[in-house]
Structure 1
């Protein structure tokens, strides 16, 4: 499959092959051609190993097409990195011994300066910086020993050092870009989730407003038409509408048709009902809420209290607490006035009824 990675590998293979061919140009004027050929074979084999070898897991995942920014160059296996150091130590010495002392400074005899520099650039790109710089140290030492440091710098050692340095800076920049891209993707996902939650809350608020208008609209219309003068039936309807509106705003997750009917029946008999949802039900699914609402409706229908307090709160075992009091005044700490205490358990949790 043609990809950016395969194209770059192909170019690198062609370039290293070109450097190796340069070493064959003066084969007829060297002392030991066999040593030159063997050294070139070691160089080409070591370079192509560093280019092509992958870890087993990376080789399998490479078959799956991924975005370019998500697939930086894989880390070179340790064995291949050690092989690259072996090449950096052997090739300069092998070439110097093979060509002979008289022609060691000729272009066909100093190709290894650029060749080893290219190899260490590959090692650097494959994320083995310590091995890459160790290879450059070996190359510098070999050049100093065989042709002299100053001559080696003039013949390309500076360029090789610059290649490796540029490769390290490029790898650092790519890693930063990948990190920033991943961070940006995370922020974008968080922003999308926040927008979705806000859109859901806006829809929920619109539904609540529409329900509130449906509940309070007729009563408000009668109040406006009568100029604020209501009879007993109108006042009772207004109180019921106010109670329904408070229920919709304070505890919408507790409500269904049965619960609404039970609440209205309790208010019609004169009870004062206070409902407050303080959380704890958000993680429950529809089936669990259906069970809780059914038990809540039964509890309200069976109560005779003058004042009912219905409250939810985050709790490990209790979903809803219903407290009924005989009198409409007094403090909740007065146990003598409490005639109903019902704890509706969360699904798969038991709570005692008192």
Structure 2
């Protein structure tokens, strides 16, 4: 049995205890039927307020905010409880007559209606609870007088409703704080996971950099910086490979790397930039893009090659080639290669 069911059973037992005095009529009253009818009406409404749970659809999302919880009392049930606050005191006042309105079997509604308004407040209808309490106070003072009403249970009902509102507010605030804390914990976990991924990527990049630049650096140290033409070419190629690995790793595979190195060996200047647009693509799509990029580079003869990813929804990569001197030439005259690789 869940905690909610245990609390609901205790609330039902308490309301039965408060209203059971209506069944023990020790004096002759004008209309006992009204007393029993008020008791039945009260018990029916109270049990409905305590145990009613709206049926949730299977596809319904769980509520996020405390005020949107599924335990909120339906309005028609709340209005039925409000009707109890108005009708039960009236029925008892008429049923017992003016002589017995302060008798034990005629004053149970002071605590009973107060308990019912507490249930209404707990079920997230606080304004209905306050209105019902006000109706109870007015009618009880009219029927039995302010002094007897306050002495026989009205003060306790007011205190119960106030405490119920304070507890409900505190629980809602605690729930909001808990939800915010859980959200912050999820954000912190996501940040930590992203940092771990970035650390792994940096380690991989450092290993690649060492693999690419290590032999060249060892050669520089061994020769004291006096490199011949071939060594200078290898150093320039190593620098280009290192820049490619850092700036556009998602564009690279063995074929693309080979074509980039071939272009640099023939003297071309190559710039590779991954500026977004490939996020979310699977490996098959990236393989298609890399294959087309390798084919484009294989047929390129430009002196300067610019390879950039594109944020456009249909274009994945743009390859631009320029040759010759730019002096006296417009941008269109200087461009001898323009290729756009579409998204697969």
Q: 1:216 aligns with which of 208, 213, 218?
A: 213
Question: Where has structure 1 moved over 6 Å in runs of 4 or more?
Answer: none
Give 5+ residue unaligned stretches, structure 1: 348-354
**Residue 147 of structure 1: how far off its partner (Å):** 0.5
Moved more, 101-110 or 214-223: 101-110
- Tell me the equivalent position of 1:53: 52
Distance, in Å, in 2 between the alignment partners of 1:24 and 1:332 is 107
In 1, are the aligned partners of 2:256 and 2:290 still within 8 Å (CA)? Answer: yes
In 1, are the aligned partners of 2:325 and 2:334 still within 8 Å (CA)? Answer: no
Q: Output aligned runs, 1:1-354, within 5 Å.
A: 2-25=1-24, 27-31=25-29, 32-57=31-56, 74-327=71-324, 333-347=330-344
In 1, are the aligned partners of 2:326 and 2:334 still within 8 Å (CA)? Answer: no
Distance, in Å, in 2 between the alignment partners of 1:70 and 1:84 is 20
Computed over aligned residues only, the root mean square deviation of the Cα atoms, in angstroms, reads 2.5
Moved more, 102-111 or 10-19: 102-111
Q: Secondary structure at the match of 2:72?
A: coil
Give 5+ residue unaligned stretches, structure 2: none
Distance, in Å, in 1 between the alignment partners of 2:308 and 2:209 is 21
**Residue 332 of structure 1: how far off its partner (Å):** 9.1
Aligned residues: 340
- Tell me the equivalent position of 1:350: none
1:329–1:251 Cα change, 3 Å: farther
Moved more, 230-239 or 208-217: 230-239
Distance, in Å, in 1 between the alignment partners of 2:268 and 2:304 is 5
In 2, are the aligned partners of 1:307 and 1:327 still within 8 Å (CA)? Answer: no
1:332–1:292 Cα change, 3 Å: farther
Moved more, 73-82 or 329-338: 329-338
**Residue 330 of structure 1: how far off its partner (Å):** 5.4
Distance, in Å, in 2 between the alignment partners of 1:71 and 1:331 is 70
Moved more, 291-300 or 329-338: 329-338
Moved more, 295-304 or 162-171: 162-171
1:331–1:128 Cα change, 3 Å: farther
Any idea what the Cα deviations from partners look like across 1:280-321, whole Å, max 9, x if unmatched? 212322121111111111111111112211122312222211
Moved more, 9-18 or 152-161: 152-161
**Residue 150 of structure 1: how far off its partner (Å):** 2.3
User: What TM-score comes out, normalization by structure 1 length?
Assistant: 0.89
In 2, are the aligned partners of 1:254 and 1:293 still within 8 Å (CA)? Answer: yes
Distance, in Å, in 2 between the alignment partners of 1:178 and 1:195 is 25
In 2, are the aligned partners of 1:30 and 1:98 still within 8 Å (CA)? Answer: no
Distance, in Å, in 2 between the alignment partners of 1:158 and 1:290 is 78
**Residue 85 of structure 1: how far off its partner (Å):** 1.8
